[in-house]
Chain A
Amino acid sequence: MDTSQLLKGVLDLAVLAVLRDADGYGYDVLRRLRAAGLEDVADASVYGTLRRLFQAGALTSYVQPSEEGPHRKYYGLNKTGHDLLARSTKTWNHFADTMSVLLEEEAA
Chain B
Amino acid sequence: MNSTLTGAVAIYLTQVRAELSDLPPGELEDVLQDVTDHLTEVAGEFDAEPTLSDLQVRLGTPRQYADELRTAAGYPARTEPVSQDYLTSGWNALRWGLIAGTVGPFFVAVSIFAWSSDETAFFGLLGLGVLFVAAFLGVRALNGNDPRIVLDTPRGAQWATAVRGWIDQVPPNVRHELVTIGQPVWWVARGMIGAAGFFALFGAISVTVVGAIAGAAVSIWIGRRTQQDRRWLWYVVPLNVVAAVAVPAFLAAAYVGASFGFLDNYNHYRGSGPNYEPPTKGVVVNGTAVSNIYPFDAQGKQVTVRLYDQDGNPISMELQDCATNYGQESRDTTSNLFPQAVVVPDENGYSSPEDCKETTKAPFVPPPAPATRTAPTPVAPSATPTSGATLTVKPTR
Enumerate chain A interface residues (CB-CB to B < 8 A): 8, 11, 25-27, 42-52, 63, 69-73
Of B30, B34, B35, B68, which one neighbours A45 at CB under 8 angstroms?
B68
Bound together, the chains give a CA A51 to CA B66 distance in angstroms of 13
Enumerate chain B interface residues (CB-CB to A < 8 A): 1-3, 30-31, 33-35, 37-38, 40-42, 44, 59-60, 64-66, 68-74
Residues of B within 8 A of A46 (CB): 72
A44–B37 CB distance below 8 A: no
Residues of B within 8 A of A47 (CB): 31, 34-35, 38, 69, 72-73
B69–A52 CB distance below 8 A: no
A43–B71 CB distance below 8 A: no
B1–A71 CB distance below 8 A: yes
Looking at A44, A46, A72, A73, the one whose CB has the most chain B CB atoms below 10 A away is: A44
A-B contact count (CB 8 A): 73
Q: How far is the CB of A26 from chain B (nearest CB, A)?
A: 6
Q: How far is the CB of A80 from chain B (nearest CB, A)?
A: 16
A73–B34 CB distance below 8 A: yes
Of B37, B69, B70, B71, which one neighbours A25 at CB under 8 angstroms?
B37
Residues of B within 8 A of A73 (CB): 1, 33-34, 37
A45–B1 CB distance below 8 A: no
Residues of A within 8 A of B33 (CB): 73
Residues of A within 8 A of B60 (CB): 42, 44
Known contacts A44-B65, A69-B40: A52-B72 contact under CB 8 Å: yes
Between-chain CB contacts (< 8 Å), 17 pairs:
A11-B72, A26-B34, A26-B37, A26-B38, A43-B59, A45-B71, A47-B31, A47-B38, A48-B68, A48-B72, A51-B30, A51-B72, A70-B1, A70-B3, A70-B40, A72-B1, A73-B37
Looking at A11, A27, A47, the one whose CB has the most chain B CB atoms below 10 A away is: A47
Residues of B within 8 A of A71 (CB): 1
Residues of A within 8 A of B3 (CB): 70
Residues of A within 8 A of B66 (CB): 44
- The binding surface of chain A is classed by DSSP as helix
Residues of A within 8 A of B59 (CB): 43-44
Bound together, the chains give a CA A101 to CA B212 distance in angstroms of 76
Identity of the chain B residue whose Cβ is nearest the Cβ of A71 in the assembled complex: B1
Bound together, the chains give a CA A8 to CA B72 distance in angstroms of 8
Residues of B within 8 A of A51 (CB): 30-31, 34, 69, 72-73
Bound together, the chains give a CA A43 to CA B65 distance in angstroms of 8
Q: How far is the CB of A100 from chain B (nearest CB, A)?
A: 27
Residues of B within 8 A of A45 (CB): 68-69, 71-72
Q: How far is the CB of B67 from chain A (nearest CB, A)?
A: 8
